[in-house]
Structure formats: structure tokens, C-alpha cells
Amino acid sequence: MKKELEGNLIFAPLPVLMIGTYDENGVPNLMNAAWGTQSDYNEIYISMGTHKTTDNLAKNPCFTVAFATKDTVVESDYFGIETGRKVNKIEKAGFHAVRSEKINAPIFEEYPVTLECKVSAFDDHGLWGEVVGMVVDDRVLNEDGKIDWDKVRLISFDSSLNKYRLVSEIVGEAFKSGFEIKNK
Ligand SMILES: Cc1cc2nc3c(=O)[nH]c(=O)nc-3n(C[C@H](O)[C@H](O)[C@H](O)COP(=O)(O)O)c2cc1C
């Protein structure tokens, strides 16, 4: 039997996106954002409040988006519960930033997969970014040069239980598994 569930909207799975920016002095910052998605072929959208990150974006319209991993779950949560307005979070967490070669935004050694983005729009509803590059550690690539998410150990945000979950095994073939029914 199905039941109407009251309360906040639950949408799943939500990603755990780490938004990297520089302030006007070149100090790197990271924030955690779960309400984001790919919104077009080369574009992403993130629902954004007001943060140190948005202070930084107003001065320098470039950012990186890294995908949080099981190995970085403690630090990734920390980047969502503390503000760079008060603390140098990167130093405190012991993370390491290098400047992207394409944009004025930091790439963090600790995250294996990172998108390089330029702000395309930014208003009360959120932030849209044009993705101009993607930087990946070769240790998470398979023999065909594709990202192996099993090696990344990607996590998602479970807003129903306020937990982080491992994105796990492959269970089907996209654009293929359905042919089992289509071809009947
Ligand atoms: C799991 C999780 C998801 C979050 N998702 C978002 C989000 O999508 N949008 C947002 O504006 N803030 C989000 N936050 C809150 C920010 O990460 C938080 O306010 C952070 O301190 C901002 O950092 P900053 O001030 O250094 O930029 C999230 C926090 C957590 C822990």
C-alpha cells in the first residue's frame, strides 16, 4: 500500500558537490552543495544561498566543482558546516589547492574528479556555470580512459536521513537494458 508522505520534498539521489573558489587575495575556499545538477550539455545549476563562496564569485566569476568521495566524507561535510568568512577551511582541513590552468579557481588534490566552470548566470534562484574543462586523476581512469566511479568511490546526499551514501554497483546498461522488453 502506498502512503502520502508529509514534510520536506525528498529528491534522490542528490550529489555532493564541492564548490571551489578564490577570494580577492587568492585564498581558496570550498563549500558543500547538494542541490545541483547538469542543466544542459555543457552547463550545471546549483541552488545557492549567500555564502563566502558567493562573495568570492561576485568578485571572480570562476569556480570548480569536485565530486565528494567516501575518502573525503568528513572534510566534505566540514566544508558544508563552516564558513570561509570566519576560518580558512582549506588550511584547517589540511587540503591542498592548485590553480586551474583554464580558470582562476582552485583544484584540490584530495578530489579525483573536478569540473572547471565559468559563471554564466547568478541570481536569487541560484548559480549556473558553463563547464569549460574537467580534470581527473589518472588513478581513477579505466583502461579506456573513462572515469571508473568504483575507483572514485562517489558519495550522494540522502536528505531523507541526513546521511551520505556510497554510489555503488552497476546494475544495468543505459540505452540497452530496455531492449529486453522493446524487442519482445
Ligand atoms: C549536505 C549539505 C548540502 C548543502 N547544500 C547546499 C546547497 O545546495 N546550496 C547552498 O547554498 N548551501 C548548501 N549547503 C550549505 C553550505 O555548504 C554552507 O552554508 C557552507 O558553510 C558555505 O560555506 P562558505 O560560506 O565557506 O561558502 C549544504 C551543506 C551541507 C552539509
Question: Which domains occur in the chain, in start order?
Answer: 14-182 (2.30.110.10)
**Residue whose C-alpha cell is 564558513:** 83
Per mean pLDDT, which range of 13-17, 90-94, 122-126 is the poorest? 122-126
Closest ligand 1 atom to residue 162 Cα is 1
Ligand 1 binding site (Cβ under 6 Å of any ligand atom)? 29, 31-36, 46-49, 51-53, 77, 80-85, 157
| pTM of the complete model | 0.97
pLDDT tens-digit series, residues 87-106 = 999 999 999 999 999 999 99
Closest ligand 1 atom to residue 80 Cα is 17
pLDDT at residue 125 tops 90:
no
pLDDT at residue 124 tops 90:
no
CB 73 within 8 A of CB 55: no
Of 51, 73, 90, 159, which is best to mutate to test ligand 1, by the most ligand atoms within 8 angstroms of its C-beta?
Answer: 51
Q: Which residue has a Cα nearest atom 10 of ligand 1? A: 48
pLDDT at residue 165 tops 90:
yes
